[in-house]
Amino acid sequence: MRTFGLIGFPLSASFSKQFFADKFATEGITDCKYELHPIPQAKEILDLIEADPRLCGLNVTIPHKVSVMPYLTELDDAAEKIGAVNCIAIDQTGEQPKLRGYNTDVYGFEESLKPLLKPHHQKALIFGDGGAAQAVKYVFNQLGIPFISVVRNAQPNAVLYSSVT
């Protein structure tokens, strides 16, 4: 049985396990299971993988979206440029597991935005500068749409205005 799961800490508020159990049942997927892995330290991902050779993928939530990156074998372009991952594909077929990190927020935002874009959409305003905002900025840069970021509590040296690079 292929295993998938979620890493983060704490995970007491996560609805992911039930969501995926329902999804697998609805789709008739009987060879998969989804588990929660509340790990306080990102490096514990290595122990999880060693303990379960059927582990194929993990979702990543706070606080590990950045701290897990040093343990990954490779990153997709978006995850590398954003500096955060929220999904890890695990290939355990070789001598050493291969862990590829993705930032799926990019795909989700881009695919939901593209059908709504019209020629008059020439610039954007982004509220906030957290993890999801980084994915939004990445997509706007990819689409050539200049943007302004507005933040409530600017950090020293924070970039409040960004445009296409």
Question: By residue range, what is the domain housing residue 56?
Answer: 2-102
Each residue's pLDDT expressed in tens, for the chain with a length of 165 residues: 999 999 999 999 999 999 999 999 999 999 999 999 999 999 999 999 999 999 999 999 999 999 999 999 999 999 999 999 999 999 999 999 999 999 999 999 999 999 999 999 999 999 988 878 889 999 999 999 999 999 887 666 555 555 554
> Do 35 and 17 form a contact (C-beta atoms < 8 A)?
yes
Same domain, 54 and 95: yes
Query: Does residue 121 fall inside a structural domain?
Result: yes
Give the domain-ending residue among 102, 131, 152.
102
Catalytic choice (17, 65, 81, 118): 65
Tokens of 60: 């990543």
Is residue 109 one of the residues assigned to a domain? no
Based on the domain organization, do 8 and 84 belong to the same domain? yes
Q: How many C-beta neighbours within 10 Å does residue 103 have? A: 27
Q: Specify the 3-state DSSP secondary structure of 103.
A: coil
Query: Known catalytic residue: 43?
Result: no
pTM for the full predicted model: 0.83
Q: What is the H or E stretch that residue 101 is in?
A: strand 98-102
